[in-house]
Structure 1
Amino acid sequence: MDLLPFEVKGLICAFANSYSQDDLSSLGRLNRTWYEVALPLVYDTLKIAFYNREHLLRELAKVSEGPQSRLFKLHTRRLDLVCLDGYRFPAPIKAVSRSGKPSPRLRYTDYAPVASLNTFLGDYLNRVYDEHTQYNRTVFWFYAEKDWEPLVSLISRLGHLTELNYAIKDMFPPALHHAMRQYHPNCRLNIWMHQSFSREIARLGKFRGINSEAEDPFEMETLQSPNLHALSVSHILTKDKFYQDATEQSSHFAETFPFLLAAPNLKHLQFEYSGSSKGDLAKLKAQWEKSAQSVKPIPVASLKSLSFGSMFKAHCPWEDVFMSISNLVDLSRLKSLDISVSRAPSLLRNARSIVPNLERLFINMHLQDRHYDYLEEDDPEMVELIQEFNPLRFLAVRGLRTYSALHRILIHHGDTLKGLIIPSTSDRRKSPDTDIGYKYPALNGQQIIEVTETCPNLKELLLPIKRIGGRPEECNVYRALGKFTQLHTLVLETIYDPRSKPEQHFPWPNDSLVREIFRNAATDVNLVKAMWGLIFSNQPSRLLRNLRVIPIGQAEFAIKGGDNGKFEDGVLRQLGRSFLLTRTPDDSLDAQEIGKFDPKRWQDFLPSLSPHMRPLAFEGAMRLLRSVWPSIEWDDKTFILSGWESFPLQIDPDGEPQTATV
């Protein structure tokens, strides 16, 4: 291998890095030549994660002092600045390890909207889904001290910066922009935390609050800068934000859009709904119009992605916002769109002509501002709207409920699809007391085979699977997934609650149902490997490379036992472990638990739990747990469950289903 050209060694290192930075480090330790090839990739990205000024200075010292400081200066191309909530994160992700080498997990993209990413399912493979496990959550926060000079100094020392990612909740400070322009004039700037402009007015080249001067006003120069590549903004509405008449235009701050679209190299724009305006909207809009007449912003952006709100935040009429933007700039180059339609899909009927080159669509299925008589059905207008787009390469349909609607959509898009996401959701329509439980099309093996025939080129797939105790019908679902001949990445949401519509106020489900939920939820590496085996052995092409299994149960699990079900909730979250299986180049399986329980971090977090939040053991649930796993134990001090394992799939040694057991 030492005789290979330098360029070929570089490609090998890049390939190894795509699997694991540990593999890249191993290559770099072979000899001096391989070390020099691997080094630029190892130090390519620097992530500074901090929660206050003191912690920031400690993190910066690790990259500015000692032998590694020269390597960061020479090789760092991407800088991520991330401020986290110090109360929840006493020990956030470190920029470098104790040995002085960069942390292997630097390329987190939690702050970037999925529509802006270069991958489709890549972001889902390592995502921690359990947002209720608060000690494991990423909580972005404000930098209270607002002392930007240490970061300005860092930017000045890095020799070849080409990308800066800003994930701090404060308005982007002029000091950082000036440092970029001075030391790295061609560096891309990605502002991923929502910037608030609606309640501010452009004055003297800066955005300043109406009632008070902002400590770090956002400069107009930044919005017009050729460096600005991605921008996330907050968006507010009038107090009365819901409209029943689709012809009535909702009142929002469209006056800000010419300013937001003034950057010539802006490629990714994200809007986040941030509530309703309590002030005089007409006066504020008039002030914005006056600022526009004075500043005369020119919308010139050529966008690649547009994102409207996070998943299922469909309270804002994003279809109106989309049309306002389409009237200001040409969207013919738009490749990716993430939109939650609120009330009027008819406004997007001509989307095919507005975004003729769209390749990726992320969309919700049900309208937030519409009453539904049939909660189990999909909205026919939304199905027709998705069919209106030109055939897509990647499609994510959120809130889909029926196979019939999925089939209609895939008849139109299936031939061209490379990626498909059909996630489950606990989001509710306008009937919150009856529209409960997870919503998803519970496909059987035969229906999945029909999807494989409709989507012959599918390479990436996220699909909910209803667990039924590993019985033959469930095994047939895994076998059917092997019929996707081109599939290399698969994410399964394994729904462990068998109820299609749980009773919200039922005092205690029957014992057999609770036991089944516990058995379905129990997920360990043996079970996930068995799922892989059924899928992979039925895929003749043997292209499957990644399998992520995410156990999901009822979002509001209604066992009214130990203190409003907190004990049962804590039990299910520990039983439902999530894994990623990756097939390595030598065809072995690498198993990684995602969101793995960290006893030390959990112990640090426990004191923050008030007594009423602690999941104290409930006698009835413990009795049922022990009837499933006689040796199971629960620690009342640490709230840790032990002594359980998953139940095997009901398959005989030849791979055929066994007779179902009771």
Structure 2
Amino acid sequence: MPTSPLDILPVEILALVCDYVELSHRPSLLSFALASKRCHSVAKRLFFHTIRFSPNNPSELELDVDECIRILERNASVSHVRTLLVTGPLWGHYYSTRALISANDGDNRTWSFGLPVSLSDISALIPTHSDRPPENDTLTDAAWQPLVRLVQLLPGLGDVLYANRHRVPPCLLQALLQYRPRCRLHVFSFRLHSLRFPETDPDELAPVTAPCLYSIWMWYCGVDGFDDGHSEPEPNYHAEAIDSMVRGLAPNLKEVHLFLQPGGAYEMDNNPLPPRPPWKGFTNVGADSTCMPAHLKSLELGLDFHSPISLEKEVADRWAANNLSSLRALRLRRFVKPEALGSHLQAKNFPYLTTLLFTCAEDQEQAYYDDVKHLIHGLPQLTSLEIISWPPNLSLAAALPRRLRELWLWTRDTLEHSLNETAILELAACCPHVETLALKIRRSRGSATEVALYKALGRFAKLRRLVLTLDVSPVPWFPIAPSHEQGDQFGTRALAFDTAIDPSFDESDRQHLTTGLYPYRNGHIRDAFINTAVDETLARAIFRTICAVKASVYGPSAALALDRMLIEPVGALSFPHRNPAKPSLDLRPYEVALGRRWLLERDIRDDARGVIRARDVDKKFRLQWVSYVFEEYRGYCREMTYMAIFRRLWPERPGVSTNWYDDWHSWPLDETA
């Protein structure tokens, strides 16, 4: 067999090639490894970089560890393992936007070898607070001994990523401290159940004070100092516990991610609870424990279930009491109140910040948004910015640092405003180096106005990854005249209301709906169907439109740089001013059938960059709906008023049509735009 041309390269060059291929297109690393024995010997360090376990029972874990050790020893790769990932049985069932646009999907085996993973990929996929960790661990400490044996055999282990619902096993923690003192521990299921007890559980205290603890993700429930996640509200001391950790108990802690689910501070009879007793602090802390404040690199104050919780001034003040000057990433997923923004959230306090996520409070004065822009403008090191609930009619472009590489702009759902062509072009001009972009734009049945928005996106010269949210929500209603006769269940009897008639509406479209959505018309349902209908043909047309502009303005190489786009329609059920329960029940099947989320990826090969692959991301979920709703309630769906509107758009084809939920196509883009 002839020698591969790669064999003439030095090992150092081959290692660099492996690293590049692993970052750009992981499947190609397998082809590289098969080129020759020499290439395989260089590449296998990445194949065994990460070991993942998802233990369900003790006997299974022991068998998995034994098999893992045999494979490592047979391939002389014990020294190649750098990351040990311990997940739970629900791993891999979640698909986040950020993971889809930047990472590969995992599998569901109980254990596997794998390529390097990032912390952001894992945090996007693990179960949230809705899957509560068990109060009592079913896997005893002895059951985790096989992992202890594995840790002792891995001299290069650098990170343990623990995302299991059970608490960190004491034996595993002790093994890290004894055999791998330089290893970093990342706990994605951090919890402290004994905070409200007189004595702190030693097994819960051990990770808190462990010098290997590097990052924590904690989901907890409650407001006003109480946790209503139990049968009766109980005192909640999570905030005080984290403060204590950051100020001295966890000196090597670098990342804190807190996710709060709101709860009411009321007793069973709805009476307000008495004041919460003060926390006694951590007990059983050894005298030899260090008392050095942590220098955080990443802080996230998040929400569970995207609950409407504000970031109060008191919370901002409490965190400001710590030294946050070392922060590289700050993610505020709670609505930042003006008082919190004006007190300590100042750019001068974050000199090294490169990543910012900021959630705007709604319905604020102009001065509030000016302060937000002032904060952003004062962070010259910023390379990644995510803004949530920004008013689409306010320009943000002038405040953005020119060195920005990622921009996730989630504009508020404002009925009268949306991002227009001018706003997008302004962003493109002010952010010439943006490679990852997320925007929401409004669909209008593929009209020239809509196509102009796609063309404006082509003005981002360095764009490589695009997350495009298509707003398909109906238009709002408006008052027309006082009326004492017409009203509805929402108490709006002082005025009569109506909705606009689009020029494209025919006589049938102008008819008001009789399905509880008055004063909306048949034509508004028609438009919602057309705008929601996103098939592969439309997704590819949008991709081509953007690339065509990039090619004409910046050259063919700029167009080929756009290698991934995620497109998703939202808002089909968002009828303004109406109770969403009724339309959600009746229109949900149509939204699922028509509103498909597409991931388009360009082939990584240099000689096949023109090949675009499209994937229906939610196909598995939709098929489940087919079996549960579309089939069991097929007659119900056909009898609804909306089916007649659906069939006006996509008539049955005798001898061709099969299932109505597959018998449709998207509306084409306006070719004259």
TM-score range (shorter-chain normalised) is: 0.7 to 0.9
Task: Determine whether 1:227 maps to 2:245.
Answer: no
Contact 2:409 2:438 in 1 (8 A): yes
Flag structure 2 segments of 5+ consecutive residues without an equivalent: 1-5, 95-105, 228-235, 268-272, 479-487, 491-515
Shift of 1:141: 5.2
One-letter amino acid of the counterpart of residue 393, structure 1? T
User: How far does residue 646 in structure 1 lie from its aligned partner after superposition?
Assistant: 2.2
The separation in 1 between residues aligned to 2:289 and 2:77, in whole angstroms, is: 41
Residue identity (%): 19
Distance in 2, Cα, partners of 1:239 & 1:202: 17
The answer (yes or no) to whether the contact 2:160–2:183 under 8 Å persists in 1 is yes
Greater alpha carbon shift after TM alignment, 463-472 vs 66-75: 66-75
Task: Indicate which of 162, 168, 176 corresponds to 1:166.
Answer: 162
Match status 1:553 vs 2:557: no
Question: Is the 1:448–1:477 contact (alpha carbons within 8 Å) kept by the matching residues of 2?
Answer: yes
Q: Answer yes or no: is the 8 Å Cα contact 1:84–1:139 preserved in 2.
A: no
Equivalent residues in 2 for 1:249-648 (5 A)?
A: 253-254=239-240, 256-261=242-247, 262-275=249-262, 284-288=277-281, 298-310=291-303, 312-315=306-309, 317=311, 319-328=313-322, 330-339=323-332, 340-343=334-337, 344-349=339-344, 351-366=346-361, 372=363, 380-389=367-376, 390-391=378-379, 392-404=382-394, 407=395, 409-424=396-411, 442-499=418-475, 506=517, 509-539=520-550, 540-541=554-555, 542=558, 543-554=561-572, 556=574, 565-583=584-602, 584-586=604-606, 587-593=609-615, 595-598=617-620, 602=624, 616-631=637-652, 641-648=661-668
C-alpha distance 564-381 of structure 1, shift in aligned 2 (>3 A): closer
Q: CA deviation at 1:561?
A: 12
**Pair 253,229 (structure 1): closer, same or farther in 2 beyond 3 Å:** closer
Contact 2:225 2:237 in 1 (8 A): no
Letter in 2 for 1:93: D
Q: Is the 8 A contact 2:49 2:113 kept in 1?
A: no
Amino acid at match of 2:619: F
Secondary structure of the residue that 1:647 maps to in structure 2? coil
CA contact (8 A) 2:55 2:110 kept: no
Instruction: Give the Cα–Cα distance (whole angstroms) in 1 for the partners of residues 649 and 631 of structure 2.
Output: 31
Corresponding residue for residue 214 of structure 1 = none
- Residue 7 of structure 2 is matched in structure 1 by 2
Secondary structure in structure 2 of the residue aligned to 1:93: coil
- Aligned partner of 2:22 in structure 1 is 17
Deviation at 1:271, TM superposition (A): 1.6
The letter for the 2-side match of 1:153 is P
Q: Distance in 1 between matches of 2:549 and 2:293?
A: 51
Give CA deviations for 1:607-656 in whole Å, capped at 9, x if unaligned. 899999998555322222222222489xxxx99931223222122xxxx5
Instruction: Decide which of 162, 183, 191 is 2:187's aligned counterpart.
Output: 191
Instruction: Tell me: CA distance 1:591–1:93, structure 2 relative to 1, closer, same or farther (3 Å).
Output: same
In the TM superposition, what is the alpha-carbon distance from 1:557 to its structure 2 partner? 5.8
2: CA distance, partners of 1:296 / 1:260: 14
Give yes or no for contact 2:572–2:591 (8 Å, CA) kept in 1.
Answer: no
Residue type matched to 1:544 in 2?
Answer: L
Kindly state the Cα deviation for residue 589 of structure 1 after the two structures are TM-superposed: 3.5
CA distance, structure 2, for counterparts of residue 461 and residue 599 of structure 1: 26
CA contact (8 A) 2:83 2:157 kept: yes
Q: Does 1:43 align with 2:30?
A: no
Alpha-carbon offset, residue 531 of structure 1 = 1.3
For the 8 Å contact 2:600–2:612, the answer to whether it is kept is yes
For the 8 Å contact 2:573–2:588, the answer to whether it is kept is no
Residue 171 of structure 1: how far off its partner (Å): 3.3
1:615 and 1:21 map into 2 onto residues whose CA distance is: 46
Distance 1:614 1:65, change over 3 A: farther
Q: Alignment partner of 1:264: what SS?
A: coil
Instruction: Please report how far the alpha carbon of residue 301 of structure 1 lies from its aligned counterpart in structure 2 after TM superposition.
Output: 0.9
Aligned pairs for 1:116-131 (under 5 A) are none
- Residue identity in the other structure for 2:452: N
Q: SS of 1:568's equivalent?
A: helix
Contact kept, 8 Å, 2:425 with 2:459, in 1: the verdict is yes
1:200-239 aligned within 5 A: 200=196, 203=199, 207-208=200-201, 218-234=203-219, 236-238=222-224
Secondary structure, aligned partner of 1:2: helix
- Give the aligned CA root-mean-square deviation in angstroms: 4.5
Q: Residue in 1 aligned with 2:100?
A: none
What residue number does 1:212 align with? Answer: none
Q: 1:566 touches 1:615 (CA, 8 Å); kept in 2?
A: no
2:160–2:185 contact (8 Å) kept in structure 1: yes
Contact persistence 2:411–2:440 (CA under 8 A): yes
Q: Would you say the 8 A contact 2:185–2:214 is kept in 1?
A: yes
Distance 1:350 1:67 in 2: 49
1:506 Cα offset (Å): 2.1
What is the identity, as a one-letter code, of the residue corresponding to 1:27?
Answer: F
Aligned mates of 2:179, 2:325 — CA distance in 1: 34
1:650 matched residue in structure 2: 670
State the alpha-carbon separation in 2 of the partners of residues 104 and 623 from structure 1. 51
Name the CA distance, whole Å, in 1 between partners of 2:144 and 2:172: 8
Aligned CA distance change for structure 1 residues 621 and 76 (closer, same or farther; 3 Å): farther
TM-score normalized by the length of structure 1? 0.75
- In structure 1, stretches of 5+ residues that fail to align are 114-126, 209-216, 242-249, 426-436, 658-662
- Counterparts of 1:43 and 1:413, CA distance in 2: 41
Tell me, in whole angstroms, the C-alpha distance in 2 between the residues paired with 1:171 and 1:238: 26
Higher relative contact order (CA 8 A, sep 6+): 1
- Aligned to 1:164, the other structure's residue is in SS state strand
Residues 108/595 of structure 1: CA separation in 2 closer, same or farther (3 Å cut): farther
What is the rounded CA distance, in whole Å, between the counterparts of 1:23 and 1:161 in structure 2? 26
Residue 230 of structure 1: how far off its partner (Å): 0.4
Q: Which moved more, 1:576-585 or 1:191-200?
A: 191-200
Compute the displacement of 1:479 (Å): 1.0
Cα 1:153–1:608 change in 2 (3 A) is: farther
TM-score (norm 2): 0.74
The alpha carbon displacement at 1:474 in A equals 0.9
1:443, 1:465 within 8 Å by CA — same for their partners in 2?
A: yes
Q: Across the two proteins, how many residue pairs are aligned to each other? A: 582
Q: Which moved more, 1:16-25 or 1:385-394?
A: 385-394
1:232/1:198 Cα in 2 relative to 1: closer, same or farther (>3 Å)?
farther
Whether the aligned pair in 2 keeps the contact of 1:253 and 1:285 (CA below 8 Å) is: no
Aligned partners of 1:424 and 1:493 also within 8 Å: no
From the superposition, tell whether residues 632 and 595 of structure 1 become closer, same or farther in structure 2 (CA, over 3 Å). farther
- Whether 1:154 aligns to 2:147 is yes
Corresponding residue for residue 481 of structure 2: none
Kindly indicate whether the alpha-carbon contact (under 8 Å) linking 1:345 and 1:385 is maintained by their aligned counterparts in 2.
Answer: no
Deviation at 1:446, TM superposition (A): 2.2
